[in-house]
Amino acid sequence: MLQSFDQLARREDIVAALSKDGGVIVSDVAPMALLDQILADFREPFEAEGHKFANDFNGYKTRRLGAILGISRAAADLIAHPLVMEVADAILKPHCSSYRIGSSTAIEILGGEAAQELHRDDTIYPMRIPGVELQIGVMWALDDFTIENGATHVVPGSQDLRDIERIIEGDITQAVMSKGSVLFYLGSTVHGGGANDTQSPRRGLITTYSLGWLRSEENHFLTVRREVADSYPETVRRLMGYWPYDKFLGSYPGDPEDGWFDT
Ligand SMILES: O=C(O)CCC(=O)C(=O)O
Ligand SMILES: [Fe+2]
């Protein structure tokens, strides 16, 4: 089981539990009105776009939205919540002077979805530096997370980099938590979405925060005007970064027909 704290708990205790177990829950942090505003902001985009992220990893009965700050202003209050910043500071700041969002994803697991494959989020970066976490993950419960509706699976202690193949059922716990609670987990912690055996969706918002130096030196997206960028041949556009690395790093949910992406 993961340790669970309330929001008045000492930050050192929350961080110590996260470092020791690879995950920790802080209960009842976000106000209901904020969560309902965020859910209202997500409703239409979920209907219109949510299915576009379906694949073997994300599931086919799961709807997703990415780059959430472009969809919901209210979500910024969760993404940059002072508690999240304090925990991210403690885990990441020893290794960087600032960190950035890696991804922010709204995830609606619909009834009938199977459990997601267990994984480590930080394997998008093909390297390990002993003692350095490359990122942390922060999952806000936008509904109550229960065993039945797909509360996130977490393998406590799996930041020891054990082989995922050797994890057994008994090693897995679930992040059961009330709406408005938040699960923190390390980038190296094995986890995955749970199966939803109910008729109601399980909605959550995951943001990852990555070491600030995991990026290009120059920011071509802001420095070179889009029309100029558009005018270059594919090889040059790829070099400027207008292309995802290995499909995920630097991804953009654009229209594949516009020719920018090889999907
Ligand atoms: O939906 C969840 O509970 C976890 C999803 C997840 O870990 C992922 O997509 O990387
Ligand atoms: Fe994940």
- Residue-wise pLDDT for 161-173, tens only, equals 999 999 999 999 9
Residue 248 banded pLDDT, cuts 50, 70, 90:
confident
Check pocket membership of 122 for ligand 1, CB cut-off 6 A: no
Sign of the torsion formed by the C-alpha atoms of 111, 113, 114 and 117: negative
If you measure from the C-alpha of residue 230 to the centroid of ligand 1, how many angstroms do you get, rounded to a whole number?
A: 34
* Predicted confidence (pLDDT) per residue in 31-40, tens digit: 999 999 999 9
Domains and CATH numbers, the chain: 4-211 (2.60.120.620), 220-258 (no CATH)
Check pocket membership of 121 for ligand 1, CB cut-off 6 A: yes
| Type of residue at 160 | D
Task: Please tell me the distance from the alpha carbon of residue 111 to that of residue 97, in angstroms, as a whole number.
Answer: 42
Q: What is the pLDDT of residue 260?
A: 43
Q: What is the pLDDT of residue 3?
A: 98
Q: What is the pTM of this model?
A: 0.95
Q: Using the atom order of ligand 1, give the atom closest to the CA of residue 105.
A: 9
H helices of 157-240, where? Answer: 220-223, 226-231, 234-240
Q: For 103-119, what is the mean pLDDT?
A: 97
Q: For 81-90, what is the mean pLDDT?
A: 98
Is the pLDDT at 261 greater than 70? The verdict is: no
Pick 260 or 125 by higher pLDDT: 125
Q: What is the pLDDT of residue 246?
A: 87
Residue 138: φ, ψ to 5°: -135, 115
If you measure from the C-alpha of residue 161 to the centroid of ligand 2, how many angstroms do you get, rounded to a whole number?
A: 15
Cβ-in-10-Å burial (0-12, 13-18, 19+) of 222 comes to: exposed
Is the pLDDT at 236 greater than 70? The verdict is: yes
If you measure from the C-alpha of residue 140 to the centroid of ligand 2, how many angstroms do you get, rounded to a whole number?
A: 13
**Contacting residues for 15 by C-beta, under 8 A, at least 6 apart:** 87, 90, 91
Q: What is the pLDDT of residue 48?
A: 94
Check pocket membership of 137 for ligand 1, CB cut-off 6 A: no
If you measure from the C-alpha of residue 10 to the centroid of ligand 1, how many angstroms do you get, rounded to a whole number?
A: 27
Q: What is the pLDDT of residue 259?
A: 45
Pick 138 or 52 by higher pLDDT: 138
Two tokens at 211?
Answer: 């070491």
Q: In 3D, which of 26, 107, 35, 108 has the Cα closest to residue 72?
A: 35
The residues placing their C-beta within 5 Å of ligand 2, an ion, are: 121
Check pocket membership of 192 for ligand 1, CB cut-off 6 A: yes
Check pocket membership of 191 for ligand 1, CB cut-off 6 A: yes
Pocket test for ligand 1, best of 116, 142, 248 (most atoms within 8 A of CB): 116
Report the side by side order of strands in the sheet with 173-174.
173-174, 153-154, 191-192
* Predicted confidence (pLDDT) per residue in 164-208, tens digit: 999 999 999 999 999 999 999 999 999 999 999 999 999 999 999
Say if CB 5 and CB 25 are below 8 A apart: yes
If you measure from the C-alpha of residue 106 to the centroid of ligand 2, how many angstroms do you get, rounded to a whole number?
A: 12
What percent of the chain has pLDDT above 90? 92
Strand intervals (E) in the chain: 4-6, 23-27, 62-66, 99-109, 135-141, 153-154, 173-174, 182-186, 191-192, 202-211
